[in-house]
Structure 1
Amino acid sequence: MAVEKLYESENYIIVNKPYDMYINSDDEDEKNTVTHHIAKHDSHLSTSSQPLHFVQRLDYATSGVLCIAKNKSAAARAGKLFEGRLTKKYYLAVVRGHVGFELGDITYPVGVDPLTQQSSHRMLAVFNKSDNTCEQSREAHTRLLVLESGYCGSDPVTVVLLKPVTGRRHQLRVHCKAIGHTILGDYTYSDKKDSAPHRMFLHAIRLVLPLHSEPLDIQTSEPFFIDKRFQSQWKSVDIFNKYRTKEAFRVACDVIDRPYVIGVKYQSYSAND
């Protein structure tokens, strides 16, 4: 599967990462990596003759916009924006079930599942702040905007826009599971039950990096409805926010960026004290 370059300068490469692909690997025989497609296999190492710096991460199963710095100073500039929560990241997802609200905030803390701490590092949402079973839990915040409801085959699903305000490991997947709407095809967070779909339907569709000398706003095309396997099974029920064109999607981003929206059914999820 090809890795599409969306943008390149002397400081950054931004690509559209395919689903089910690693970012990098220490195994030089592993060809299913972003670095194998765009650079040398060891480019993620400081000892490489052409080192690259990954200022963000995407899960193996997640597709979409991935920012890579070409030098340390560029990585530091971008890293400060991510750490300071000055970037804007928007993800498109298809979740199971029909979501019963239009706009929501999910603020359950996220930590490491102690049962998988030495293996897969599966994460957990913390529903009660006094619960100490979850390892290294940290505050987490995701905003969710419903775009369209429908059916994938006979299964009710909802297309949603997700905006992670914080950047915890597996945050979007954990928060969707926590509110009862796992991401379609998420084998890990469906407790290994959701194995029928050919991919996990989570895509990093837009990244805004307000760099002082090189402001970036990179967006991919809508990824799911160009997939014939998904499109052939899709039946729409209701469209709440248009999103399939670049212009329409940016309007949806403007909606999710607002602290509140008049006339929209709102839901908040937070941990009990």
Structure 2
Amino acid sequence: MLEILFQDEWLVAVNKPAGMLVHRSFLDKHETEFVMQTLRDQLGQHVFPLHRLDRPTSGVLLFALSSDIARQMSEQQHSWRKFYVAVVRGYFKQPLYLDYPLVEELDDIADAKARQDKPAQAAQTSFWPLAHIELPIANARHATSRYSLVLCQPHTGRKHQIRRHLKHLFHPILGDTTHGDGKQNQIFRQHLDNQRLLLHCVYTELVHPISGQRLVVYAPLREPAAFWALWQWDKLLEQQVIIPLIAELVPAR
């Protein structure tokens, strides 16, 4: 069963588990579980995805309950506000706005016929450090290992944008097997039993298509629960803490 975060007669939002595909893909023919099909069976009706989350990312995922609402919502996605939390390598010392264009990432199979010479696309992300830790775990260069919990707001929607921007800043996300640091990922697997990408969409804000009212959807952290509790980061990211913090950092328009 998927965790329902919000539901009315027009929209439904779920807390997407890490590692689960949003819908079927010919690139992953061996997979048998998908958010879209699971939610359809759970609700007993068709659902229409309004956006996507990468397979290893967890958090807020929105669906329309009719094709008309889906079409209407597609026209306002540029105005949504999404906030993610990530655990990254190193001390992320201060808030930062990054404007760094990204070349489109192409899949070897799905995009085999796509142009390979497209110019880089505009990409902007804001970052705020929330917490830091230093662990007594030696790495190749230091006697200890430092990590940060970072709040991320993408202002554009490029593929793997947050992951690639953090890599560019030399603060790769832990558990990122594509854009991350393999040695740091191994440290987290061996010492902290973390098997996933530590990137979670914690908050999405949009205008309701029928009422016209501001709708905020919050997704609590679930897995791995023991990891998030190690330094009480689960408390820092509880709804009554993180939503007022976001409102303070980035006032609603």
Same fold per superposition (TM over 0.5): yes
Q: CA deviation at 1:221?
A: 2.1
Deviates further, 209-218 or 155-164: 209-218
Partner residue in 1 for 2:199: 202
Q: CA deviation at 1:35?
A: 2.1
Query: CA separation in 2, counterparts of 1:152 and 1:9?
Result: 45
The TM-score with structure 2 as length reference comes to: 0.78
86, 98, 116: which one pairs with 1:93? 86
- Which residue type is aligned with residue 10 of structure 1? E
Contact 2:174 2:181 in 1 (8 A): no
Could you say if the C-alpha distance between residues 153 and 200 of structure 1 is closer, same or farther in structure 2, counting changes exceeding 3 Å?
A: farther
Partner residue in 2 for 1:125: none
| Cα deviation code 1:221-255 (max 9, x no counterpart) | 2446x7114534x498xxxxx83332221222124
Partner residue in 2 for 1:70: 65
- Which residue type is aligned with residue 133 of structure 2? G
- Quote the RMSD (CA, aligned, Å): 3.1
| Cα deviation code 1:53-101 (max 9, x no counterpart) | 211110000000000112122112221111xx21111111111111122
Gaps of 5+ in 2: 138-144
What is the 5 A alignment of 1:1-273?
2-26=1-25, 30-39=31-40, 51-82=46-77, 85-101=78-94, 103-113=95-105, 117-119=107-109, 135-151=118-134, 154=137, 155-190=145-180, 192-193=182-183, 194-195=185-186, 196=189, 197-214=194-211, 215=213, 216-223=215-222, 227-232=225-230, 234=231, 243-257=236-250
Gaps of 5+ in 1: 42-48, 122-132, 237-241, 260-273
For 2:75, what is the secondary structure of its paired residue?
A: helix
For 1:138, what is the secondary structure of its paired residue?
A: coil
Could you say if the C-alpha distance between residues 81 and 156 of structure 1 is closer, same or farther in structure 2, counting changes exceeding 3 Å?
A: same
| Cα deviation code 1:195-220 (max 9, x no counterpart) | 53311110001111112524421102
- Which residue type is aligned with residue 110 of structure 1? L
Contact 2:59 2:220 in 1 (8 A): no
Q: CA deviation at 1:11?
A: 1.5
Could you say if the C-alpha distance between residues 104 and 19 of structure 1 is closer, same or farther in structure 2, counting changes exceeding 3 Å?
A: same
Q: Which has the higher helix share?
A: 2
For 2:120, what is the secondary structure of its paired residue?
A: strand
Could you say if the C-alpha distance between residues 256 and 167 of structure 1 is closer, same or farther in structure 2, counting changes exceeding 3 Å?
A: farther
Query: CA separation in 1, counterparts of 2:110 and 2:54?
Result: 12
Aligned positions, number: 229
Q: CA deviation at 1:50?
A: 5.2
Partner residue in 2 for 1:266: none
Q: Which has the higher strand share?
A: 1
Could you say if the C-alpha distance between residues 192 and 37 of structure 1 is closer, same or farther in structure 2, counting changes exceeding 3 Å?
A: same
